[in-house]
Structure 1
Amino acid sequence: MQRLVFWLVYPFLWLISILPFRLFYLFSDLVFLVVFYLVGYRRKTVFENLQLAFPQKSGTELKKIRKDFYRHMVDMFLEMIKSLSISNEELKKRFKFTNIEEIQKIRNMNKSILLACGHYASYEWMNALQLYGLDYKGFGVYKKVKNRYFDQLAKDIRGRYDGVLISTTRATKVITENERKGIRGVYAMIADQSPKISRAKAWTNFMGVNVPVFLGLEHLSRSQDMVVVYLHVQKIKRGYYEASFKTISYEPAKEPQFFITRNYFDKLEEQIKQEPRYYLWTHKRWKHRNASMSRDAVIIKD
């Protein structure tokens, strides 16, 4: 059944991916109308999240942000499909890195990088980094897709740029083994997800709300002596992005406890407050805000 679903859907994905950009974004406009007005996909969740994050804004303001967000979300989802056929030259033109020298500086230190990303602007085209000729292997830590054929498709897309996807369940093992072998890499991790409440061992303030957080950046960077860099992505205009590297720490083991985690959320929060329409408001990031913390849980203060 998984194979059948894949082969029924894949031809349509390919046709979408080869549309000229003008038609591509016209198609995105049509999909937006369906998703926002007809389907109403998670509209209530998005509005509730915005109310939590921006209690000072009026209902009219929040509704405008919500509508702008859906336009962006549909664009970004389709841009992921565009990755099936986009040329290297076009990708590099549409997703630019402004200070690539920072990555080269870290490479010269003979250290690997934990590239801390958020669900902000675009994280689908950041594999353009592999087109800059850096002496680094690129890895993306991701949540495995249930359909194994679509999961393989995601890996193949990244493979076009010599990148490798690692499932979240294998990330620590793979990174540790690579470091032991002296294989230096850039590991992109989206670190703002919500852990299961049974595994919530750390909480912090995110957009004014106390929520559980993952500590993967903290633990891996300290144990493996990896540099932590925040990927600051901005949407310049429709279909065009600029990314800059903001180093959080060159030597995480020497930082105060939870410095890495708090600094990451501070940088992400700053971007969200500036342009809230580009954050992924459909995920239930604040769903555990009223849950009780376990006795051994820690609170990471601002």
Structure 2
Amino acid sequence: MKKLSDTLGYYIFYAFAGVIACLPLTVLYLISDIAAFFVHRVVRYRLNIVRMNLRNSFPEKSDAELKSIENKFYRHLCDYGVELIKMTRISEKELDKRITIDNFDLFYEQLDKGKNIILLLGHYGNWDWLSTLERRFRPGVTLAAVYRPLKNPGIDELFIKARERFGTLNISKNNTLRAMIRIKQSKQPHVVAMVSDQTPSVNNLEYWTNFLHQDTPVLTGMDKIARQLDFSVYYIDCQVVKRGYYKATLSIIESDPASLEPYEICERFIRKVEQTIQRDPAFYLWSHKRWKHKREK
């Protein structure tokens, strides 16, 4: 029965998404404005979590400043939703107009040396649109994206197909290490994108640091894999230029990860995410339960 329900849900959502995705983004943003009002003011989606996260992250800001960030956040959250659906139909030409990377050639500083790359990013701006960069690489370079499967397998499949439209290789979070070993053994150049600022599971609270004024556990998988398999580690900083337009900037976190102490990559990464957020806080995923774990005394 559950499988039937998931299948029906998939086809209903697929049909709905297909119709919506055909609309131009100018129309989708009008829909997003309406949705933002209901999500924020009527449904009050995770409003207490958003307000708590903002208040704890920016104790120096006034109530008026926090309210302004909150309002912009819900608008962008709904923009992200329609942009995600649009990803199933958007053209490469449209994406290239809306996402710019000024220093894309920095990738080749390590790829040309025969090094694979782990590309780290946070839940900022539109991280899913950044997973469509495969076609911008030279022939022979593969972009892979590590993703966390959604609870509804039908909807999960829809967004896997959306990324695959642009040649991106999808890697389920649970298969990350095995996939990375295969990539290493293949001798073919890969860039593996990981959104790595989420909360670790309760069984993986290995490394803690101060992030946005709060005691915070950090995912450690990217640190271990990079040092074990000798992947260079990059960070991609996403900036929202204006509604629906993004500018990304690359930087190298470390080209010789085996030389670092354990968790140093985690620390460098979280500092870069912090800098991205502090530049313009509204475009971070504040509805996420980022600080649900507390360190044992």
What is the TM-score when the length of structure 2 is the normalising length?
0.95
Cα deviation 1:167-218 (Å, max 9, x = unaligned):
1110011101220222321111011111122321111111111121111121
Match of 2:106 among 82, 102, 106: 102
- Say yes or no: does 1:32 pair with 2:20: no
- Say yes or no: does 1:172 pair with 2:177: yes
Match of 1:254 among 250, 254, 259: 259
- Say yes or no: does 1:93 pair with 2:97: yes
SS of the residue corresponding to residue 194 of structure 1 reads coil
Q: CA deviation at 1:166?
A: 1.0
**Is the contact made by 2:146 and 2:193 (CA closer than 8 Å) also made in structure 1?**
yes
**Is the contact made by 2:14 and 2:158 (CA closer than 8 Å) also made in structure 1?**
no
**Is the contact made by 1:92 and 1:131 (CA closer than 8 Å) also made in structure 2?**
no
1:156 corresponding residue in structure 2: 161
Match of 1:129 among 126, 133, 136: 133
- Say yes or no: does 1:22 pair with 2:59: no
SS of the residue corresponding to residue 50 of structure 1 reads helix
- Say yes or no: does 1:81 pair with 2:81: no
1:286 corresponding residue in structure 2: 291
Q: Partners in 2 of 1:133 and 1:260 — Cα distance? A: 25
Q: CA deviation at 1:100?
A: 0.9
Counterpart amino acid of 1:79? E
1:232 corresponding residue in structure 2: 237
* Worse overlay, 192-201 or 224-233: 192-201
SS of the residue corresponding to residue 81 of structure 2 reads helix
RMSD: 1.3
Structure 1, gaps ≥5 residues long: 294-302
* Worse overlay, 44-53 or 158-167: 158-167
Q: Partners in 2 of 1:34 and 1:40 — Cα distance? A: 8
Q: Partners in 2 of 1:93 and 1:178 — Cα distance? A: 31
SS of the residue corresponding to residue 170 of structure 1 reads helix
Match of 2:118 among 114, 136, 144: 114
Q: CA deviation at 1:265?
A: 0.7
Q: CA deviation at 1:33?
A: 1.0
SS of the residue corresponding to residue 188 of structure 1 reads strand
Q: CA deviation at 1:7?
A: 1.2
Aligned pairs, number: 292
1:193 corresponding residue in structure 2: 198
1:10 corresponding residue in structure 2: 14
Counterpart amino acid of 1:10? Y
Q: CA deviation at 1:150?
A: 1.7
Counterpart amino acid of 2:175? R
Q: Partners in 2 of 1:29 and 1:163 — Cα distance? A: 30
Structure 2, gaps ≥5 residues long: none
Match of 2:281 among 260, 276, 282: 276
**Is the contact made by 2:230 and 2:256 (CA closer than 8 Å) also made in structure 1?**
yes
Match of 1:242 among 238, 244, 247: 247
